Amino acid sequence: MMPQHAGWSLIVPLKPLGRAKSRLVAVSAGERRSALVLAFAEDTVAAALECVAVRDVAVVTDDPLAARRLARLGARVVPDAPRGGLNAALAHGERVVRERGARAAVAALGADLPALRPAELARVLTAAGGYPRAFVADAAGVGTTVLTAGPGTALAPAFEGASRARHRDSGAVELTLAGVESVRQDVDTGADLRRALALGVGPRTAAGVRAVTVSGVSPG
């Protein structure tokens, strides 16, 4: 087993809202889509901050609205200085977090987990504590929703596309826990959103979906 630590520092990357989740255009476009993406992030961060295994959350973003709203929830906002994509943002966030504590345990968490349950995240992070690096695959079995690195271990993120295979090939241990569906259900498409809604999303996402529905567009 890995040595115990004081809790996980989560790193949550978030693109500028106007450029995020382009595959949700069939559900909602323009400002409504941006509002929905922000709602996903707010519910994700709020749930993470309620998790007993989490010490703090750092959101890497250059979006001013998202920065204000997520800071209001209690997250630390880190400007996306590299502006080199998802993995560069995560590596930058890791450096910033570990400036405070070189041996911090860190975890990358997707910003699109609106059904996230704090207790399920705690189960994942507790299991991850037994390995230098570990990850959880997304519900589709192709991508990754969580990647962890224990104290003194580099995160080495390889997200986007078929990241499950890349993380496994890099030596990270895949965690295959039962009963953590909310940790695995990210949202890229309308079908993903329907599945997240079936699990039960957070209040901001629920309100955002109601606004879309009222406008005459169905999440399906």
13 forms bridges with which residues in the sheet?
Answer: 60
Q: Tokens 């895949």, residue?
A: 174
Among 140, 142, 170, 141, smallest CA distance to 155 is for 170
> What's the chain look like in SS3?
CCCCCCCEEEEEECCCHHHCCHHHCCCCCHHHHHHHHHHHHHHHHHHHHCCCCEEEEEEECCCHHHHHHHHHHCCEEECCCCCCCHHHHHHHHHHHHHHHCCCCEEEEECCCCCCCCHHHHHHHHHHHCCCCEEEEECCCCCCEEEEEECCCCCCCCCCCCCHHHHHHHCCCEECCCCCCHHHHCCCCCHHHHHHHHHHCCCHHHHHHHHHHHHCCCCCC
Residue 213 labeled ligand binder: no
Residue 44 labeled ligand binder: no
Binding-site sequence positions: 144, 163
Binding site listing for phosphoenolpyruvate: 144, 163
